[in-house]
Amino acid sequence: MHEPQVLILDEPTSGLDPLMQHRFLDLVQEEKQRGATILMSSHIFPEIERVCDRVGILRDGTLVAVEDIRNLRANRRQVFTVLFAAESEANRFIALGGLLQRRGTEVEVEVRGDCNEFIGRLAQCRVHELRVHELGLEELFMHYYEA
């Protein structure tokens, strides 16, 4: 490659196996570090979050949003599903607030941004299992398409 100043990539990993996708994204990162400007169109949100600094969302051919990836990460909404060791543990945790849903000893909690307070509260309880579902770029995309 001749080290271009600008790379325009349209769904560049489409059709690649996972190993080649990973290697290709490594090459994109190298070009980015070299100082190239990269415009990449993709519907694969994890790869966008991995290599892009900013994301633009198009709807019906119009640019409806431009977001900085760092801001998206800092304000990322996470949904934690916690399975407590006993109902009394779930009750104690729920008393602290932030509940989305409860099913017996299983509690679903939404956390936006920094999750240190949540982790501190959780550390006071006996937890059997913890699952996290991060809602980031895809959630933002759906927000603009559902509006």
The single residue listed with the structure tokens 């969302």 is 57
Q: For residue 97, is pLDDT > 70?
A: no
Confidence band for 106, pLDDT divided at 50, 70 and 90: very high
Which residue did the predictor score with more confidence, 111 or 130? 130
Fold topology of 6-72? Rossmann fold (3.40.50)
Confidence band for 101, pLDDT divided at 50, 70 and 90: confident
CA distance 131 to 111: 13
User: What pLDDT is recorded for position 136?
Assistant: 67
Count the neighbouring beta carbons within 10 Å of the beta carbon of residue 90. 22
User: What pLDDT is recorded for position 72?
Assistant: 74
Cα-to-chain-centroid distance, residue 114? 14
Q: For residue 137, is pLDDT > 80?
A: no
User: What pLDDT is recorded for position 135?
Assistant: 66
What are the boundaries of each domain within the chain?
Answer: 6-72, 76-140
Model confidence pLDDT, tens digit, residues 33-92: 999 999 999 888 888 888 999 988 888 888 888 888 888 777 777 889 999 999 988 888
Q: For residue 100, is pLDDT > 90?
A: no
Q: For residue 29, is pLDDT > 80?
A: yes
The answer to whether residues 9 and 38 touch, using CB atoms and an 8 Å cutoff, is yes
Q: For residue 138, is pLDDT > 90?
A: no
The single residue listed with the structure tokens 């290599």 is 51
For every residue of the chain, DSSP letters joined together read ----SEEEEESTTTT--HHHHHHHHHHHHHHHHHT-EEEEE-S-HHHHHHH-SEEEEEETTEEEEEEEHHHHHHT-EEEEEEEESSHHHHHHHHTTS-EEEEETTEEEEEEES--HHHHHHHTTS-EEEEEEEEE-HHHHHHHHHH-
The answer to whether residues 21 and 42 touch, using CB atoms and an 8 Å cutoff, is no
Fold topology of 76-140? Alpha-Beta Plaits (3.30.70)
